[in-house]
């Protein structure tokens, strides 16, 4: 049985990166693990094996290539390491003359030219294919015993974080894990000599692009807004060292003092108006109204199906929502940050004007409709915003921007966002094992119903009444029962 993770592709631009991969492997391999090193002559098989062996031995020992001896054995205290080169074998059965059958069971074996093993390949072997890439290498890693790939990823990323931190002058800093969000990102606070910074670990391959974070941060700071400064970056691997804007999130401040809601939300609305008055950055994604409608089909394909255990057709909802968006929310685009709410805004009283609002989680910024971020702020899935504050902030936004027919615009975008979130929160439960999001669904449902009450959404309301089940206690329990076990639960 092999690991459930997909194969890994690791970029090794320099010899030090190959050595780092060897060190990562050395930290997780155990007796009975077999590593098959494939690649052409000069691809780096022996270099990787040498780094692995030295790291496991804990000393700079001479590690010759076994091209002529065929096998080199090292005593790494609790386990032997067998390094073998099978290039000169003429028949697979010759591996037993080397004693590899015994080594596969009790040692860590590193096998160069593993194709010579033929039918004797160990079933749970870890494959590492090496190939040259410019001045460096690519390593493609797959297979292994259950859990091994995940251990390699964790060890490799941990080393990458350490290298970035050391290069930026923070090698000796204390490190504290910070609470994350619905994504795969991890955050750490570094402290050193009275200073602090935030370390972001954003694994490649997900929806969030660390290079987009860096570019958007530069744009926002260029407008005089308080996005974190980027102190060091390895965007290929998803590591960023950021200015620490502190912990005073709007949500935490409002928990302590609900009476400051309008005082916080006013500047946040002013930031949106300022942001939207500026020219759009070049190259932003710009979805059509039909694309936005399509994103809301999760309410049917995920939420409704989990709620009722019956498949439903989302096409009617997508069609009617698309028509409403084209009619009321498909005008000139502005920059939207997409997750503009109290958990992603910080209060920075030591700064002046708009810079008092600290901005987080903006890497998905794109071209969109003016009311979208305002809906995100005022129809917050995680906290209730008072009706008085919501009305006052809408009026403030309209007065500043001169928006026309804004009530319908706001309601359509609010409905689209609520529908999508119903699906997203359900999916986080049933596929990722995060049931806490289910407890937020009744609030999102309330937002949806208020938006659907607008006359412009009569057709959409009729469709929603047909295909969506109200999130009663019974429905929420049914959804939560689908939640798989998670290490975080």
Please give the full DSSP string across 357-404, using - where no structure is assigned.
EEE---TT-EEE-THHHHHHHHS-SSSPPPHHHHHHHHHHHHHHH--S
* Distance separating alpha carbons of residues 420 and 417, to the nearest angstrom: 5
Arch. (CATH architecture) of 173-243: 2-Layer Sandwich (3.30)
Q: Are 198 and 190 in contact (CB under 8 A)?
A: yes
Q: Are 300 and 312 in contact (CB under 8 A)?
A: yes
Six token digits for residue 257:
């003092």
Measured from the Cβ of residue 180, the count of other Cβ atoms closer than 10 Å reads 12
Helix, strand, coil shares of the chain as percentages rounded to 5? Answer: 45, 20, 35
pLDDT of residue 367: 97
Six token digits for residue 332:
């000139």
| CA nearest neighbour of 327 among 449, 459, 466 | 459
Q: Are 358 and 246 in contact (CB under 8 A)?
A: yes
Six token digits for residue 261:
């809601």
* Distance separating alpha carbons of residues 145 and 28, to the nearest angstrom: 11
CATH superfamily of 250-480: Aminoglycoside phosphotransferase (APH), C-terminal lobe (3.90.1200.10)
Domain with CATH 3.90.1200.10 in the chain: 250-480
Class of domain 8-161: alpha beta
Residue with tokens 């692995």: 52
Six token digits for residue 99:
């004693």
Q: Is 466 exposed, middle or buried (0-12, 13-18, 19+ CB in 10 A)?
A: exposed
Q: pLDDT tens digits for the chain (489 residues)? A: 445 578 889 889 889 889 999 999 999 999 999 999 999 988 999 999 999 999 999 888 888 888 888 999 999 888 999 999 998 888 877 877 888 888 999 999 999 999 888 888 898 999 999 999 988 999 999 999 999 999 998 898 888 889 899 999 999 899 998 865 556 788 999 999 999 999 999 877 666 788 999 999 999 999 999 999 999 999 888 899 999 999 999 999 999 999 999 999 999 999 999 999 999 999 999 999 999 999 999 999 999 999 999 888 999 999 999 999 999 999 999 999 999 999 999 999 999 999 999 999 999 999 999 999 999 999 999 999 999 999 999 999 999 999 999 999 999 999 999 999 999 999 999 998 999 999 999 999 999 999 999 999 999 999 999 999 999 999 999 999 999 875 444
* Distance separating alpha carbons of residues 441 and 193, to the nearest angstrom: 44
Q: Are 279 and 265 in contact (CB under 8 A)?
A: no
Ramachandran sector of residue 120 (left: φ over 0; alpha: ψ -120 to 50; beta: rest): alpha
Six token digits for residue 97:
């003359």
Domain with CATH 3.30.200.20 in the chain: 173-243
* Distance separating alpha carbons of residues 95 and 124, to the nearest angstrom: 18
Measured at the CA of 146, the angle between CA 140 and CA 149, to 5 degrees, comes to: 30
| Strand intervals (E) in 235-311 | 239-243
Domain with CATH 3.40.50.300 in the chain: 8-161
* Distance separating alpha carbons of residues 280 and 283, to the nearest angstrom: 9
């Amino acid at each position: 049985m092999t690991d459930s993770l997909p194969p890994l592709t690791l970029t090794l631009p320099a010899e030090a990166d190959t050595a780092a991969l060897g060190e990562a492997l050395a930290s997780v391999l155990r007796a009975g693990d077999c590593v098959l090193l494939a690649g052409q002559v000069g691809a780096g098989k022996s270099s990787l094996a040498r780094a692995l062996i030295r790291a496991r031995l804990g000393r700079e020992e001479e590690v010759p290539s076994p091209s002529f001896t065929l096998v080199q054995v090292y005593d790494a205290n609790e386990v032997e390491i067998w390094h073998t080169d099978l290039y000169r074998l003429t028949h697979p059965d010759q591996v037993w003359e080397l004693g590899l059958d015994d080594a596969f069971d009790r040692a860590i074996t590193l096998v160069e030219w593993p194709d010579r093993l033929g039918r004797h390949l160990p079933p749970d072997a870890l494959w590492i294919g090496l190939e040259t890439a410019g001045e460096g290498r690519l390593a493609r890693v797959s297979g292994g015993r259950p859990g091994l790939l995940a251990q390699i990823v964790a060890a490799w990323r941990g080393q990458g974080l350490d290298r970035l931190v050391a290069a930026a002058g923070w090698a000796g800093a204390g490190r504290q894990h910070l609470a994350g969000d619905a994504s795969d990102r991890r955050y750490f606070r570094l402290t050193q000599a009275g200073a602090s910074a935030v370390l972001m670990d954003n694994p490649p391959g997900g929806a969030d692009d660390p290079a987009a974070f860096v570019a958007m941060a530069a744009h926002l700071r260029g407008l005089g807004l308080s996005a974190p400064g980027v102190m060091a970056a390895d965007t290929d691997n998803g590591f960023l060292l950021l200015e620490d804007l502190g912990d005073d999130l709007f949500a935490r401040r409002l928990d302590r003092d609900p009476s400051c809601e309008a005082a916080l939300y006013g500047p946040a609305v002013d930031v949106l108006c300022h942001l939207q008055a500026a020219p759009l950055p070049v190259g932003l994604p710009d979805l059509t109204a039909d694309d936005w409608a399509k994103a809301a089909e999760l309410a049917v394909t995920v939420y409704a199906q989990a709620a009722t255990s019956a498949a439903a057709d989302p096409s009617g909802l997508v069609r009617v929502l698309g028509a409403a968006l084209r009619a009321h929310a498909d005008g000139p685009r502005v920059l939207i940050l997409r997750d503009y709410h109290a958990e992603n805004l910080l209060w920075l009283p030591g700064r002046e004007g708009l810079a008092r609002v600290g901005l987080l989680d903006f890497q998905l910024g794109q071209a969109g409709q003016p009311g979208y971020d305002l809906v995100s702020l005022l129809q917050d899935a995680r906290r209730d915003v008072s009706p008085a504050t919501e009305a006052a902030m809408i009026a403030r936004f309209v007065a500043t921007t001169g928006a026309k027919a804004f009530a319908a615009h706001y309601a359509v975008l609010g409905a689209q966002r609520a529908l999508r979130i119903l699906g997203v929160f359900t999916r986080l439960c049933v596929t990722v094992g995060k049931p806490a999001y289910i407890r937020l669904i009744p609030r999102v449902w309330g937002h949806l119903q208020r938006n659907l009450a607008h006359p412009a959404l009569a057709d959409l309301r009729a469709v929603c009444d047909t295909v969506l089940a109200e999130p009663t206690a019974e429905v929420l329990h049914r959804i939560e029962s689908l939640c798989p076990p998670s290490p975080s639960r």
